[in-house]
């Protein structure tokens, strides 16, 4: 499965997901206040508020945190760092935010994110997430982790591996999105 993602900072995320033979199966359009998903296989669409993302993922996601996750920026880490540790080549930062305890590691050289371990503050949930950032590249822009791993554990486990084959920054983009009249609302 392949996904094409386009973003305009603090404004929109556009996603097109293709399967075998390059056939588009899903298209999504996320803004600060809404989510629209086209299921092209079943010819239905879902139009919800941004809270829908939080319902589906059980995470306090908003447009900003979702964009940070895609770009490779730290998520759920605020400036209230409670402790830090420096070892050979690695700086570890500990933060207790509104939703998670976050142990975030960066490389001392280059200050690039290496990993983030999130533990839910609600101990009843015993939810944890581990993000790993790897294989940094610099193609006419910022250093970018072209490989990512996201592992979430709660009652079940979810493992996502992202391999970015192509990416560009600061380019002019279009966000083609329309709901065909023949589609039914889900």
Give the pLDDT confidence of 55-97 residue by residue, as tens digits: 877 778 899 999 998 888 888 887 788 898 999 999 999 999 8
**Cα radius of gyration rounded to whole Å, the chain:** 18
Confidence of residue 125 (pLDDT cuts 50, 70, 90): confident
How far out from the chain centre does Cα 106 lie?
A: 18
Distance CA 7, CA 14 (A): 6
∠ Cα 69 95 93 (to 5°): 85
* H or E element, residue 136: strand 128-137
Size of the chain in residues: 186
The mean pLDDT of the chain is 90
pTM value is 0.84
Predicted local distance difference test score (pLDDT) of residue 32 = 94
Using one digit for the tens of pLDDT, what is the confidence trace for 133-156?
999 998 877 889 999 999 988 888
Closest CA to 98 of 65, 67, 71: 65
Whether 147 contacts 164, CB under 8 Å: yes
| Beta-bridge partner residues of 13 | 7, 30
DSSP string across 71-86: HT--SS--S-EEEEEE
| Beta-bridge partner residues of 37 | 28, 46
SS3 (DSSP) at 105: strand
Distance CA 64, CA 161 (A): 21
Predicted local distance difference test score (pLDDT) of residue 59 = 79
Task: Compute CA distances 6 → 136, 139, 145, 174, 186, whole Å.
Answer: 20, 17, 17, 8, 25
Using one digit for the tens of pLDDT, what is the confidence trace for 95-120?
998 888 999 999 988 889 999 999 99
């Amino acid at each position: 499965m392949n996904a094409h993602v386009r973003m305009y900072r603090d404004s929109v995320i556009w996603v097109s997901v293709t399967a075998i033979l390059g056939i588009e199966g899903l298209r999504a359009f996320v803004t600060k206040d809404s989510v629209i998903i086209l299921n092209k296989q079943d010819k239905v669409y879902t139009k919800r508020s941004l809270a829908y993302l939080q319902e589906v993922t059980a995470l306090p996601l908003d447009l900003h945190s979702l964009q940070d996750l895609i770009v490779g920026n730290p998520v759920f880490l605020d400036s209230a760092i409670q402790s830090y540790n420096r070892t050979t080549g690695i700086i570890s930062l500990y933060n207790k935010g509104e939703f998670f305890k976050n142990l975030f590691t960066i490389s001392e050289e280059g200050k690039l994110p290496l990993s983030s371990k999130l533990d839910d503050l609600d101990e009843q949930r015993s939810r944890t997430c581990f993000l790993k950032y790897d294989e940094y590249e610099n193609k006419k822009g910022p250093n970018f982790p072209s490989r990512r791993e996201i592992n979430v554990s709660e009652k079940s486990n979810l493992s996502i591996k992202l391999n970015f084959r192509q990416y560009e920054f600061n380019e002019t983009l279009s966000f083609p999105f329309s709901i065909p009249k023949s589609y039914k609302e889900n």
